[in-house]
Structure 1
Amino acid sequence: MFDLFHMTLHVELQQDDQFFIYCTNEQDNVIKVDMWKHAVLLWHKPTYYGTLVTTATLDEKEGVILSAWEAFCFFKHYTQDSVLQLSLSANAQSWVKRAQEVEALIENEAFIPSFTDWQKGSLQWIATVDQVSKETTYLLSHVVNELIQEDETIAHIWKELVDQHSLFNKNPLIVDKQDWLEQTGLQQIEVPFQLILRLTEPEEDGGLWQVRTLVIPSDEEKEPFTFHGSLPTEWVEHEPYVARQHNKWRLLAPVLDGSSSWINEWLTEDEAWLFLTEQSEALLQAGIDIHLPAWWQAVHKLNMKMSVSVVDSAEDGRSSFFGLQSLINYQWKFSLGGIALSEEEFQRLVEQKRRLVHIDGQWIKLDPQFIKQAQSLLREADKRGLHVRDVLTSELNRASHSSSAPQDSTVSLSSVSIDLSGGFKQFVRQLQAQKPLKTHPLPTLFNGQLRPYQQEGFNWLLFLRKYGLGACLADDMGLGKTIQLIAYFAHLKEQEEARPSLLICPTSLIGNWERELKEFAPSLNVYVHYGSKRDDDASFSKRAMDADIVITSYQLSVLDFEQLSSVHWTSICLDEAQHIKNAYTKQSRAIRKLHSHHKIALTGTPMENRLTELWAIYDFINPTYLGTLPSFQKKFVTPIEKDGSKQKVAQLKRFIQPFMLRRTKQDQHIQLHLPSKSEQKQFIPLTIEQASLYEQLVKDTLTEVEKRSAFERKGFILQMLTKLKQLCNHPALYLKEPGSRQTIKRSHKLEALLDLMKEIRAQGESCLIFTQYIEMGTMIERMVEKELKEKALFLHGSLSKTARDEMVESFQRGDSSIFILSLRAGGTGLNLTAANHVIHVDRWWNPAIENQATDRAYRIGQTKFVHVHKLMTIGTIEERIDKMMTEKQTLNDQIIGEQQWITELSNEDLKELLTYHREETTNPKEPSSTS
């Protein structure tokens, strides 16, 4: 066994504060490290009690190497009573003395971080007592940093300090060392007042703005006062604090630069603008209290609006323009709040470089960015003028909440409010809605009858012709596109409008068109330009001008392009217009170059595979409307076909709808064997209570769902979704509260339902009310009895077949006007044609199930108009589900077809589906209806 009593431990300080330690016996012979290291380092944690010690040989002596931190820990536990004989070199003795000083500083907590080193981005430590050597300070810093790394208790304390005072790991604005000590919490300071920076506007327009420092005493009995360079006698000691705050204010807001204790008291208009729009934000973010003029918050949020008034110059009921490229008369206006400026007044203020203007008792701002945009738009409009296309695309952009128009070289009015007057306003309204339009009597030259929807198509073609706008009649096959166009041709002849019209169709349909024209408009002079014996240039021109309609084929439109382009047609009509879908073919390019007063495309498939097919048809009927093909590909094709952009789909649909009339066999007014049905979505806000519960439930769920396995996650989400939907109905359902707590005012949806039922009863009508939850059905049943003094029927799965049959029979007899059904129990197998209103209180995941429930009233045997109401809460899962089911459709259906429901949601929609969107509740949506 090794004898510590007869051993001497030699300690030598090497370079870089490393220690070489070795042992000798009584004969002064060096002892091998393995013989003594575990005994000597028995309490030494940094080397794991001698196990991880570094062995070295110096001057033929075997020993161990200890770092400064390891040596500090060793000597800290070493005592004078140790049996171990210690031999220290001179420099080691000096180092141990410094270590003892460091230990005393740490025990007394007489150290703080170094401000100088913090400014350099380094964390070092200094003593808070005097006469500490540089060597001791260096060792102190090294030891403290090691303690933070090695000691769990100290590391935890340091982390809390850093978290509380972010200045330790960031680089905010610091005025001086004293400011740094205060902000880091290393030195506590209490001042008996609060400083507030106040900006006051001038009394007269164009004057100087005043800046003051307000001193607000903590003692409420003392009056606030303005700082004028000195504090009251009892507060003189705090004047350095005020000076530091002023220095900080000036650094954050350079326009306040003044003397060492004061700030600049007077600001010019430009300086005040800079302070209000930029520098005050920096002060606020730094936690400095600022009082700005009361009106600034309102004005700051408002942006000056630029508007253009379109002046209608039409007379005698005639159109004031013709075609998308027609120039329009206009006037610019500018407004902010209740102040309106003419273009001349605005330009004058811009020339004066004004920023903040006082007009008619109200302050307005002239933002430089707005001025730049406005002047650019004014120059562009002066250079090119405003066209019908500019106004139309901007109005359609606004309707689709978009900011980019499908145009290349025209003036963009997307950021401008447009005031339409007279006939132009009516034109845009009719164009967007496609009805109501003027009903034209069928021409006497037309030998036939039009069904109601065909009459609408005939009116629509003439409406667009009036304004020189092309049309794409895209009815389903078999719905009579041909007969609508023939009525159009007959009208042109009867009104003695210029002729001739050119009809281009597939070769196989030329004969069919001849027969149809002969049957329905036999008085029309039809000339068929086809075959090997067709007329040459001279005779073609004469024959064409004598005809009402010239029919030719797509192939000849290329071969005989010179002949066809020599005539300015009153109308050019394409049957099966998808034949020009490939925009790059000679055939498509040739046909798009033909000139005409009016162009019409007939097709049941305006787009088969790609969006460029749609562009080709529109470039024919309304050239340049959708821009050039490269720009169209950039703005729509790539975002939609490659990225699946829903926003671009909606925007494009908005642009094409005014010039496309598409009816399908599934359209309700086409299905003559079924009564009409209207579906209406009513968007309802949550109450404050519901919104609070909703947000908390989503927050808790999103946190918990991350901890679940894939299998558990699915079930957990389904449970949570049920809770959310119940909460959207009424908080009492989610909280499982008794009937006494189920008041109407706690749920706007219940209020809306009650109002709806009152209106239905007032009209002497009846309704079916579907809900997924029996508790909700019971709540509605009690509400009907209490508020409407009526006994409602309630069918749910717990009822027997006998009770179920009796309820159905009672309702069909008219004994009750309100029938509540659980969605599962009442969704199938019932005939309830006595009802003509169907109300879905809560939304089901699968629209097919909702449709099945609706079909209890809307089915064979129904003789009344059926109105379907779908109640949804704004910004919640209900609205998200509705949007997702509506938007996820095939490309063709998204752009031009009827909407189809989907039956499942993707995983990536989860967070968006759950999150409550408060911003959507600030402006509750009006009920929207779709037929």
Structure 2
Amino acid sequence: MKVSTAQPFQLIYSLYQHEYLGYLFESFVVQLDEKGRLTLQHQNISSKNAREFESGCDENDYKLIKLMDEMQQDSVVLKFYKKKVKPDEFFFKVYDKERGDKVLQESIELYLETRRAKILDLLKGKMIFEMGRDGEPAWKQIHWVEEKATVLFHFRRNDDNTHYFPTIKLQGEKLEWQYNNSYLVCLEPAWLIVKDKLISFEKNVDGNKLKPFLNKKFIVIPQKVEETYYQKFVTQLVASFDVYAKGFEINAEKYPTQPVINFSELVQTTNGTLFDSSGRSNQLKDEEDSKILFKLAFKYGPYQFNYEKQPLASVKLEKSNGSYIFHKVNRNANVEVEMVQELSKRGLKFQNGRATLPRATAFNWLNENADFLHDFGIEVQQTDTERKKYFVGESKIEIKVEEGIDWFDIKATVRFGEFETTFQELRKLINKHKREVKLPNGEIAVIPEAWIKDYAELFAFMEETDDQSTLKLRKHHLSLIQDLQSGSLAQVTMDRKLQKLQEFEEIEDYEMPAAFNGTLRPYQKAGYNWMRFLSEYNFGGCLADDMGLGKTVQTLALLQAQTEHSSGQASLLVMPTSLIYNWQIEASKFTPNLRVLVYTGTNRDKNAEQFANYDLVVTSYGITRIDIDILSSYYFNYVILDESQAIKNPDSLIAKCVTELKSRHRLILTGTPLENSTFDLWSQMSFINPGLLGAAKYFKNEFQQPIEKRGDIDKTRKLNVIIKPFILRRQKSQVARDLPEKFESVKYSQMTPEQEEKYEEVKSHYRNQILDTIEKSGIKKSQLLLLQGLTKLRQIANHPKMVEPDFEGGSGKLEDITYMIESAISEGHKILVFSQFVKHLSIVKEFLEDRKVDFTYLDGSTKDRQGQVEKFQNNEDIKVFLISLKAGGLGLNLTKADYVFLLDPWWNPAIEEQAVDRAHRIGQVNTVFTYKFITRNTVEEKILALQKNKLKLANDLITTEESFIKKLTTEDISELLS
């Protein structure tokens, strides 16, 4: 019977016993009567329909329902046998008493027991029932007991036998649990139902230790089998629980801890015919499909014990002169847990001391972690050597590639421990889908999966030569060689460079809006077409053209077209405050018919209804944060974010606010969608197309970490495929014919003697500190000190006054800067002077004031940004504009300048490019000259060299770079401070 969500209902959980699978739970909703009592009207619920009853569910309910779904017989059959089969047939064969598949039974039981334990923990506070034999889910209520019970095991040894029995205490009272139909729902750990109580135990008691006593007062161990019984059962109890013993001794001992990984090959059921003609389950013979079972153990002196989650002690039995001594070995829980965590970090995750991996993956793990295993003193040993004995030493492959006239010559050596085989032999095995190499000593080496993945194309394309030690690869496989080199998979000697071309895909050509006042350049028209295409199919987009290529005008053309073809709803444009004036000017020029509302200022009309009277609402990120309730109440046609890197941090308030905005379409504009990390993309791309890149945690694990930490090319390519349709980026090099010429050069300066003396003094101080910190604590712990030291050295390279205001000496760089400023002014040029350091600008400012040179100035504290820009652009007498690099990175059109001076190198060359783009952009008619000032024999010169090698994060994706400091190796740091 269906339960109505319009009437009161109750979620309950019902326990029943399956013929083969033991105790299972099912979830139900039951209709309540007018007095809040359960009725007979009920229905089963699962994860598929649970949301229909969300008013009666909490987070734990959804977890419970999912776990219970996974335990149902249909789910079990599907989990362990992928082909379609009736449950009755499956269970009859698997659980046949004589010919059943014992291994599969154990796997199923472990699967179910794990879920039982999780379910029982989550049932606190829930309504639990035993199911009636007629299927009534609420037959008998069971109460979840919060306080855990304790167990005391009693042993009394006499001349003839040993009596053994447990007693249980709950809430300080002895519990009567025998001979009264009590039963164990779960064994590992034990959960016991006594009458109407569901009871758990301290110390995670194994239910198998209690099970025999449900209907037996005690067990008598005859003297003739007592040694075996003591060895198998009593030792476990002494190790883990409270034991009252009479007639034998218990001694505590301590030893150092040594980890041991034992492994064996698992026999599995095929996915083809489940059962052969005799009814026995088939076992996989194909080596590729087998699995390896790892078991973790720890040696303490002469004793070895299997891993336990909370090891307190383990016990070994000794018999002497008819007496028994139990050696209780205290185990180091911290060391064991830390070892499990270390193994887990490296991908070997143990559950209950066991871990199962596909065979190839398992041996690949052993090979990749050989150094770790050796350094931590971990023994690795095979326990099933009867069928085959596996090689577990180091596997190594070395490839050298040398460029010939028409070919690449490939020389490779393949080693398994002390044994060596040829690359040709390895290739033949892999091409035959073989994964084993038989070594001269009879051991079997498994070819690492990484080799198969990394060298798959190489194995496919290379050709043999007369020289058995050399193979060859045709020259048109240059990209393959480059991939090997970039992945550090081969030593490559090659003079020629490979240049990759990016494809430009054309889409449908859309008509320009009739009221658009202007002409788009070809690449701008392509951008307009692309945005129109996305709009037509309701996709969000990211226009990521280089600075100065006209993202504003392309967007205005789109908005004008939307006004002429859409339903008449207003669009919202959000941007940094400093850009609002620029957008107003551009809109009045190109789209004068657009009705534009500038929604800013303290006197703004906070009424969303007014938006319907406009085509475009322009506001700032700050106002959006403040007025999000108002803005989110209107359904816009477009929501457009300019300089969208402002929302790159998804945890920021502005990023959370913009996601609340409602619109038919979304668009973001940015010249730097990726500033510091690949994760910068996630928030922006998720804004325009929610769910495109998955959840944040998923993106970090699947893309950010592999790309940034391991340089995973496959992940980069995959990410590129995902975002490519929704991001359009054109660089100046692609549209160079539409831009004026640009010349870049480096001006090297020589330090003055007193400046050099100060530089060497500070360098020596920091070098010793930094290298000492790296040696003691590692490179990560030294990053803050390194940044501090490098910053100070960069400042001294500019002018020591930046560090010591009382410094009376000169600066070689300042002499060159001032000379070139005076020369450029005398020739009538206008100059943009950029520096990262406001202190450096102040020194130049002081020089200009002394020389009575008029200038404009902009740093983070400047309030009248636009006024300074217009003053420089419109006043011919002002030739110099001093700009803080960060403050001048966005929204400045300074096309009157034809000289750009970069006073100090920035960690990120892309930021320097943005500075140059203030002058070198659409509207510039003059050739732009850029000078970068570098002080010789300082960290500046070395940064310049390192930039070329260190900042290559996903260049083919979008690009800029992740943190410069984090990329530096110890060798790089040593070179910087040399």
Whether TM exceeds 0.5 here: the answer is: no
Asked which structure has the greater CA Rg, the reply is: 1
Compute the TM-score of the two structures, normalised by the length of structure 1: 0.28
Compute the TM-score of the two structures, normalised by the length of structure 2: 0.27
Higher strand residue share? 2
Higher helix residue share? 1
